[in-house]
Amino acid sequence: MILKKKTIVITGGTSGVGLEMVKRLSMENDVIVIGRSAKKLKELTAQLQNIHVYQADLISLDDVESVAKKIRNDFINIDVLINNAAVQYTARFLDKKFEFSNVTDEISVNFTSICSLTYQLFPALQHDNRALILNVNSGLALAPKKSSAVYCASKAALNSFSQSLSYQLEDTNIRVLQVFLALVDTPMTQGRGENKMSAVHAANLIIKGLSNEKNSHYIGKVKLLIILLRVLPWLAKKIMKNN
């Protein structure tokens, strides 16, 4: 798909990789940004052109349904939906700082809200032209690590959902794509890991894969992980365990 003069919806577009995608995509497209922070959304509209912002907390399915309805009322057709927003908590179940409420929050943002928003926006995605749904995933969907068990599980669920949904939509105008990221330098990963990919580089690679409609796009070290899972799955799991 040629990403020019398209209407693109993106979640989590006020920081990290999402923000870098918004900066680039808004140069030649109308970009609809769904975010939780009213302040950040206001700053975004002051900085960039071709931006339309909608406030919603993806933890709340009522918010997701409400914002989707507003977008459908404002835009007849949507060409691209990028489900990018995610949260990750690193506390282990036996840690004193573990908070049970984070479990439902993490699942809601990383998985349930994606299912809901995708369904709610189907009427705008179903039109005469090609439409794309891009689910931004992680290498942890393929091999989990010791910490962030709920995050890993939610990303694995997203992988399965994306594949199944793509089967359901085979005979429609909509294609479902996934991108699997390695560790990227964002506010969410602050203080964790080394040799991170920059958010700008990650965003550029994601957009390139989106343009080429890559069904499963593996970025950075995830390419090596895929090879290891095929030839030495035990080693891949060992490496990822403490990643």
Over residues 19-63, the pLDDT tens digits come to 999 999 999 999 999 999 999 999 999 999 999 999 999 999 999
C-alpha neighbours within 13 Å on the C-beta side of residue 125 = 22
Tell me the average pLDDT of the chain: 94
Task: For the chain, give the percent of residues with pLDDT over 70.
Answer: 96
pTM of the model: 0.94
Task: For the chain, give the percent of residues with pLDDT over 90.
Answer: 85
Over residues 140-181, the pLDDT tens digits come to 999 999 989 999 999 999 999 999 999 999 999 999 999 999
Q: Which of 54, 89, 119, 151 is catalytic?
A: 151
In angstroms, the Cα distances linking 220 to 21, 134, 146, 237 are: 17, 18, 21, 17
Chosen CATH of 7-241 out of 3.40.50.720, 3.40.50.300, 3.20.20.70, 3.40.50.2300: 3.40.50.720
Calculate Rg over the CA atoms of the chain. Answer: 17
Q: What is the pLDDT of residue 74?
A: 97
89 is catalytic: no
Q: What is the pLDDT of residue 238?
A: 86
